[in-house]
Amino acid sequence: MELKNIKLGELTDEEIVSEVKKGNIDYFAEIVKRYNQRLYRIAVSYGVFDDDAEEVLQTTYIAAYEKINQFRGEAKFSTWLIRILINECLMLKRKNQKTQNIPEDLVTNLTGDHLNPEKDYMDKERKEILEKAIQQLPEKYKTVYMLKEVEGMNIEETSAALAISKVNVKVRLHRAKSMLKNLIKDGTGLSTLFTFGNARCDKVTESVMNYIKNKEAEKVS
C-alpha cells in the first residue's frame, strides 16, 4: 500500500508498526499519541499516579519500540502494548512499594488540561465523585471497569489485554458496577474521566521520541 499520501491518523496500528520496522521511526510518535490516554487510564487503575504514570508510559513505549520486531501480529497491537504496560506497572509497584491510597491532588491533576471552564459546577463535582469512587475499587475490578466502561474496549479486547477469561471479565465488571451503583446512575460522562491532557501527552511523546532518536543515532555513530 502506498502510504505517502495517507495521513498518519488514517493508518492502522499494524501499518504504522510495519513502517517503524522498516526504519521510519517518526511513525512511532503516532503510536504514542494514539495510546497515551488509554495507557494512562490503565496505569491509574493499577495505582500508578502523576510523575510515576508518565514514567511508566515512557518505559512502556521504549520497551515496545525496542521489541517491535517481536510483534508478529498474532494479537492486536493494542493488546500487546497493554501487556507491556501492565508488566511495567507491576514492576514499578514492586520497586516503590507504594500504597494505593488516593493522593489528595489526584482529581486536580487528572482534570486540569481538559476541563471546559464553562462546565457547570455540579458536573465537575460529579466527575470528582466518580473518579474517587472508581479509585476505591479493588484493583482487579477497577482495571476491568476502566478498560470496558471508561476506555470503551469490548469484552474480548479486555479479556486479551488482562489475560483473563471473557467470563471473568463479565463477572468482575458486574461486581464493579454493583460496588458503584449508588454513585453511577448511567454511562454519561465516563469518557471524560481520568483524562491525560494535551500538555502531558506532548511531553511523553517528545521524551519517548527523543530517546528513540538518540539511541538510533548512537547506532550509526
Q: Which three cell numbers stand for residue 68?
A: 517491535
What domain range is 167 assigned to? 10-220
CA pair distance 104, 141, nearest whole angstrom: 22
Q: Is residue 4 part of a domain?
A: no
Task: Quote the pLDDT of residue 118.
Answer: 43
Task: Quote the pLDDT of residue 135.
Answer: 87
Q: Is residue 160 part of a domain?
A: yes
CA pair distance 2, 6, nearest whole angstrom: 8
- How far CA 181 is from CA of 6, 52, 137, 176, in Å, comes to 45, 30, 12, 9
Torsions phi, psi for 3 (to 5 deg): -105, -10
Q: Is residue 155 part of a domain?
A: yes
Place of cell 467470563: 167
Task: Quote the pLDDT of residue 106.
Answer: 38
Q: Are 107 and 138 in contact (CB under 8 A)?
A: no
Of 82, 21, 85, the residue nearest 53 (C-alpha): 85
DSSP 8-state class, residue 146: I
pLDDT means over runs of 10, the chain (221 residues)? 68 96 96 96 90 94 96 93 94 70 39 41 69 88 93 94 96 92 59 84 95 91 70
Residue 122 sits in a domain of what CATH number?
Answer: 1.10.1740.10
- How far CA 186 is from CA of 44, 118, 140, 144, 174, in Å, comes to 22, 23, 22, 17, 14
Angle between helices 50-66 and 77-96 (to 10 degrees): 130
Task: Quote the pLDDT of residue 213.
Answer: 95
Domain count for the chain, please give it: 1
Q: Is residue 114 part of a domain?
A: yes
Q: Is residue 103 part of a domain?
A: yes
Q: Is residue 3 part of a domain?
A: no
For the chain, the 3-state helix, strand and coil shares in percent, each to the nearest 5, are 70, 0, 30
Which three-class secondary structure state does DSSP give residue 154?
A: coil
